[in-house]
Amino acid sequence: MTIVGKRPVIQFDSVIFATDFSPASQNAGLYASAFSRHFVTNLVVAHGFILTQAALEVEAGKPRSSQQRVDLNHDLLLTAEALPAGRGTTEFILLEGDPRKAIPVLAQRRSPALVVMGTHGGGSIDRFVLGSTAEGILRHSSEPALTVGPNVTILRPGVLQIRRILYATDCSAEAAHAAPVAIALADAFSAGLDVLHVIHSSEVDHPDQFHMLQQHFYSAVEAIMPHFAEQVCESHTFVSVGQPHTEILKHIDEREIDLLILGLRRNAHLGMQNRTSRAFPIIIEAKCPIITVASGSPFQSS
C-alpha cells in the first residue's frame, strides 16, 4: 500500500487463488477473479499436492508424469480457463508439496499478492486435531488473504459489490496495522467503513462501568485510525459488550457487511501457530468474505 497525495492506495501484483477443486473453492474462485479484475492484477490458480505412493512409483527415475499429476494439471487448466484475470491470461501452477507451506511460498515470490481461498471449515476432528488447509495457509503466510467461508453467498459472475466494510479491532498497537488497509479498501470500493471494538463481557461489572469503558474505547479507536481516514471514506465507530466472536458476527448481519478486515498479530509466547485461533471460527461462520492482514505484510506497508 502506498500514499498518493492524502489517499492510501492498495497495490498488489497478483491474486493467488489456492484451490483444492472442492465445492468450497468454487465461490472463492469467483471472488479471486473479481478482485483481480477490480484491481487489474495478474491471476494465478494454484494447487498444492503430495504424490501418492502409486504416483511416486510411476515417476521414480522415469521421465514421465503419473496419472495423478496429469489429472491435476488438467483440472487446473479448466479452472484457469473459467476465471478471467484483470491483467493478461490467467496462469495455473501445480505445486508439489504441502499446500499449507507451498501456497505461502508462491505468494511471497509474487509479493505483493493477495491469497484467495475457500474453506468448508471441517468437522471438530479436522478443525482442532489436523487443522484445515485454509487455516494452515493463514498461519504460514506473510501475505494478506481473502478467505471465503461456507456461509458466503455465491458471487454472481461479473458482480462485486462491496458497499460496507467492517474493521474489527481490539485497539492494541499490534493489531492497528490493519487499519490503513481497511481505509484503503473502503476507498478502492467507494464503500462505507464500520470500526468495531468489543469489550469482553467479563470486563463489565455494572452499567456505569460500561459507559466509562465505552467512552475510553471510542477514544482508543479514534487514536489508532490514521489521520486521513475521514478524508477518504465515511466511517462509523461502534463499541459493544459481549463475546467478540458473537458480536462481530452479529454486526455483520445487522449492518449488512460485505467484507470484514481482521489483523493477525504475532504472539511472543506462542509464535505464529495460534495467531488464527480466534479469527478462524469467525471465518467459518461469517456471511461475508474476510481479509486477514498479518503484521509486517507488504500489502499494508507504506
Do 169 and 260 touch, CB atoms closer than 8 A? Answer: no
C-alpha cell at position 234: 465515511
Q: Report helix, strand or coil for 176.
A: helix
pLDDT for position 223: 63
pTM of the model: 0.87
Query: For residue 129, is pLDDT > 50?
Result: no
Do 293 and 299 touch, CB atoms closer than 8 A? Answer: yes
Do 17 and 32 touch, CB atoms closer than 8 A? Answer: yes
d(CA 182, CA 289): 14
Query: For residue 12, is pLDDT > 80?
Result: yes
Which contiguous run of DSSP H or E holds residue 254? helix 244-254
Average the pLDDT over 132-142 and give the result: 85
Reported as a single tens digit per residue, the pLDDT across 221-245 is 666 566 656 666 778 888 888 888 9
Lowest mean pLDDT among 152-156, 170-174, 267-271: 267-271
| Cβ contacts of 72-75, under 8 Å, gap ≥ 24 | 72/47, 75/21, 75/47
d(CA 121, CA 127): 7
Of 45, 36, 53, nearest to 72 (Cα)? 45
Give burial (CB, 10 Å; 0-12/13-18/19+) of 275.
Answer: buried
